[in-house]
């Protein structure tokens, strides 16, 4: 079982670890018992590609959001460069495959919430030049591009600038991430997207009725567009009670696999952005347990490999250029 995990290309599509680097709380090394992700634990967990999201918290919004993003970018680059023998920034899928061949962990850069972009697509293009390959238009609130899930009551979706941004992201070769987007915004993306899009860290609402999760119709629409959703390990998005185990994560996996087949599911732990991780998946070193769990539920090696990262790798190949 360990060998299947090792030979698979393992992608974790979302973490908030850069926050800790930026504020100097922790670094890529050494291994600590703090938080969920550092380089030793990524290696123990067999992760080949980690997506690092730059999340600019609401207290920095408006004029402080771009300076804060630049600070986070600096922290990100400094960590990667200090560990260049073991970790490498990936700009293309070839970079991702090369990282695995060379025994390095690949890092993909994403933005969670477009506040630092303001109303200026030039900033989006510069972010792409600085290595960004994915972006969520919005976090839970409202910005110039869209309404987040916290604004459901308004029924708001994408603004005209939000629509333009999706088009520009597709032109640049950046992944559109719909996690945190309001339901109306989700359907707006479905109606305008010409390429597959992702929900990097969202679960199935049928199993846990939280607005951060996707309804079955949304999951089907994402799948019809060739997209992929990453399983979020936050206990509050896994069970109504807010306590969760590896089995709850596997339940969400099974629901989605039964609903849309094996080609649209992946991992998006949300590590270092969540207060409660499931029992049995306490940090990044536990990913092989997920593999064992899927195999134990009777899924074949082909399906397991797709879920571990094959699906995300396919979508990146279709969008990133
Ligand atoms: Zn998030």
Q: Which two tokens stand for residue 270?
A: 């949300």
Among 57-71, 89-103, 216-230, the minimum mean pLDDT is found in: 57-71
Distance 200 CA to ligand 1 centre (A): 8
Peptide bond connecting 193 to the previous residue in cis, omega within 30 degrees of 0: no
Distance 112 CA to ligand 1 centre (A): 7
Residue 256 has, within 13 A of its CA and on its CB side, a CA count of 35
CB 107 within 8 A of CB 50: yes
pLDDT digits (tens, 9 = 90+) for 275-316: 889 999 999 999 999 999 999 999 999 999 999 999 999 999
Tell me how far apart the alpha carbons of residues 9 and 101 are, in angstroms, rounded to a whole number. Answer: 10
Distance 298 CA to ligand 1 centre (A): 31
- Give a yes or no: residue 2 inside a domain: no
Distance 139 CA to ligand 1 centre (A): 7
Distance 1 CA to ligand 1 centre (A): 31
Distance 136 CA to ligand 1 centre (A): 9
Distance 273 CA to ligand 1 centre (A): 7
Distance 53 CA to ligand 1 centre (A): 9
Q: Is the model's pLDDT at 1 over the cut of 60?
A: no
Distance 3 CA to ligand 1 centre (A): 31
- Give a yes or no: residue 1 inside a domain: no
pLDDT value of position 136? 97
Distance 15 CA to ligand 1 centre (A): 8
Q: Is the model's pLDDT at 319 over the cut of 70?
A: yes
Distance 274 CA to ligand 1 centre (A): 9
Distance 204 CA to ligand 1 centre (A): 15
pLDDT digits (tens, 9 = 90+) for 183-237: 999 999 999 999 999 999 999 999 999 999 999 999 999 999 999 999 999 999 9
Distance 202 CA to ligand 1 centre (A): 8
Distance 111 CA to ligand 1 centre (A): 10
pLDDT value of position 288? 97
What is the overall mean pLDDT for the chain? 96
Q: Is the model's pLDDT at 33 over the cut of 80?
A: yes
pLDDT value of position 242? 79
Distance 279 CA to ligand 1 centre (A): 20
Distance 284 CA to ligand 1 centre (A): 17
**Average pLDDT, integer, range 127-139:** 97
**CATH number for the domain that contains residue 284:** 3.20.20.140
pLDDT value of position 153? 86
What domain range includes position 32? 8-319
Distance 101 CA to ligand 1 centre (A): 30
Our count of domains for the chain comes to: 1
**Average pLDDT, integer, range 101-112:** 97
Can you give the three-state secondary structure of 68-126, one letter per residue? HHHHHHHHHHHHHHHCCCCEEECCCHHHHHHHHHCCCEEEEEEEECCHHHCCCHHHHHH
Which single residue is written with the structure tokens 């899009």? 197
Q: Is the model's pLDDT at 2 over the cut of 60?
A: no
- Give a yes or no: residue 207 inside a domain: yes
- Give a yes or no: residue 3 inside a domain: no
Distance 58 CA to ligand 1 centre (A): 13
Peptide bond connecting 30 to the previous residue in cis, omega within 30 degrees of 0: yes
SS3 148: strand
pLDDT value of position 296? 97
- Give a yes or no: residue 288 inside a domain: yes
- Give a yes or no: residue 272 inside a domain: yes
Distance 271 CA to ligand 1 centre (A): 10
Distance 300 CA to ligand 1 centre (A): 30
Distance 319 CA to ligand 1 centre (A): 21
Distance 250 CA to ligand 1 centre (A): 20
Distance 270 CA to ligand 1 centre (A): 7
């Amino acid at each position: 079982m360990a060998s299947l995990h090792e030979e698979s290309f393992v992608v974790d599509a979302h973490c908030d670890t850069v926050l800790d680097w930026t504020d100097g709380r922790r670094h890529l090394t050494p291994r600590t018992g703090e938080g969920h992700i550092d380089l030793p634990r990524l290696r123990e967990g067999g992760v080949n590609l980690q997506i690092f999201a730059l999340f600019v918290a609401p207290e920095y919004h408006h004029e402080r959001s771009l300076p804060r993003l630049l600070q986070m970018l600096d922290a990100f680059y400094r960590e990667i460069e200090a560990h260049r023998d073991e970790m490498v920034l990936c700009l293309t899928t070839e970079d991702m495959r090369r990282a695995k061949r060379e025994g390095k962990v690949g890092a993909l850069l994403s933005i969670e919430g477009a506040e630092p972009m303001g109303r200026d697509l030039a900033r989006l293009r510069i972010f792409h030049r600085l290595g960004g390959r994915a972006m969520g238009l919005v976090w839970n609130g409202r910005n110039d591009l869209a309404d987040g899930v916290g604004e459901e009551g308004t029924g708001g979706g994408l603004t005209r600038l939000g629509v333009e941004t999706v088009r520009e992201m597709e032109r640049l070769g950046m992944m559109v991430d719909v996690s945190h987007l309001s339901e109306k915004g989700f359907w707006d993306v479905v109606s305008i997207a010409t390429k597959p899009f992702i929900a990097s860290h969202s679960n199935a609402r049928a199993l846990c009725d939280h607005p951060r999760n996707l309804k079955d119709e949304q999951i089907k629409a994402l799948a019809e567009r060739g997209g992929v959703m990453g399983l979020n390990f936050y206990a509050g998005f896994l069970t109504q009670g807010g306590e969760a185990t590896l089995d709850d994560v596997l339940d969400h996996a099974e629901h989605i696999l039964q609903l849309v087949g094996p080609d649209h599911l992946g991992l998006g732990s949300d590590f270092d952005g969540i207060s409660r991780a499931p029992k049995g998946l306490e940090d990044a070193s536990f990913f092989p347990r997920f593999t064992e769990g899927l195999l134990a539920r009777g899924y074949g090696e082909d399906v397991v490999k797709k879920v571990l990262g094959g699906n995300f790798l396919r979508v990146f190949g279709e969008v990133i250029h």
